[in-house]
Chain A
Amino acid sequence: QQQVKQSPQSLIVQKGGISIINCAYENTAFDYFPWYQQFPGKGPALLIAIRPDVSEKKEGRFTISFNKSAKQFSLHIMDSQPGDSATYFCAATLSNTGNQFYFGTGTSLTVIP
């Protein structure tokens, strides 16, 4: 069973637009939800993360919105830039137990000039 579902699979956005990627999770015990950015041939890099005690977290142009009741969280990239073109993965985990991260299937974002 896919613990974390991610959509869309790919996304094309004009420069300056807003990119939105959505994830839904199954396990209500998950308490840490990070987003990773991966460029071709590189390892994933932590972009931003949220815990379920807040509904939104913003860091620069990146915002996570979290809906605990719906078991959904999303990444918003404001003022998208061509340099943001990458693959984005959401994940979920139980942070204090050393458990594995459950990753979404990834979203390939292309920002066109």
Chain B
Amino acid sequence: GAVVSQHPSRVICKSGTSVKIECRSLDFQATTMFWYRQFPKQSLMLMATSNEGSKATYEQGVEKDKFLINHASLTLSTLTVTSAHPEDSSFYICSARDGAGALNEQFFGPGTRLTVL
């Protein structure tokens, strides 16, 4: 089955530093990748949609200069949280859409827990 990995699974950083999270589709080509943020006991909040080779499309209210997204290949997308602050602490989840699949299903990574001190 389709597998999506995320790295790191957990990261703790000091306020003001930048953190990069990688999302990889391991056995399929992901024409589209999505980045979500999830607060405890809440639903997934879509942050941005990225298509390989083009700029990401950010949802309203998401700062594109703070959450930098790069989708350089069909198997890798990165989210960089720049100048992180404690309010950025959250669970970040990526998903990848298999454009070649008949159902265009969306497969989720295991998530990255970011804690900003």
Contacts and interface: CB of A to CB of B under 8 A. Distances in A.
Contact of A43 (B31, B104, B109): B109
B52 to A, nearest CB: 12
A-side interface size class: 20 to 34
Interface residues of B, number: 27
B108 A43 contact: yes
A100 B45 CA distance: 11
B108 A106 contact: no
Nearest to B99: A98
B56 interface: no
B11 interface: no
B61 to A, nearest CB: 15
A96 B103 CA distance: 8
B72 to A, nearest CB: 18
B109 to A, nearest CB: 5
A98 B103 contact: no
Nearest to A87: B41
Given A98-B32, A98-B97, A46 B105 contact: yes
B108 A44 contact: yes
Contacts of A103: 43-44
Interface in A57-83: none
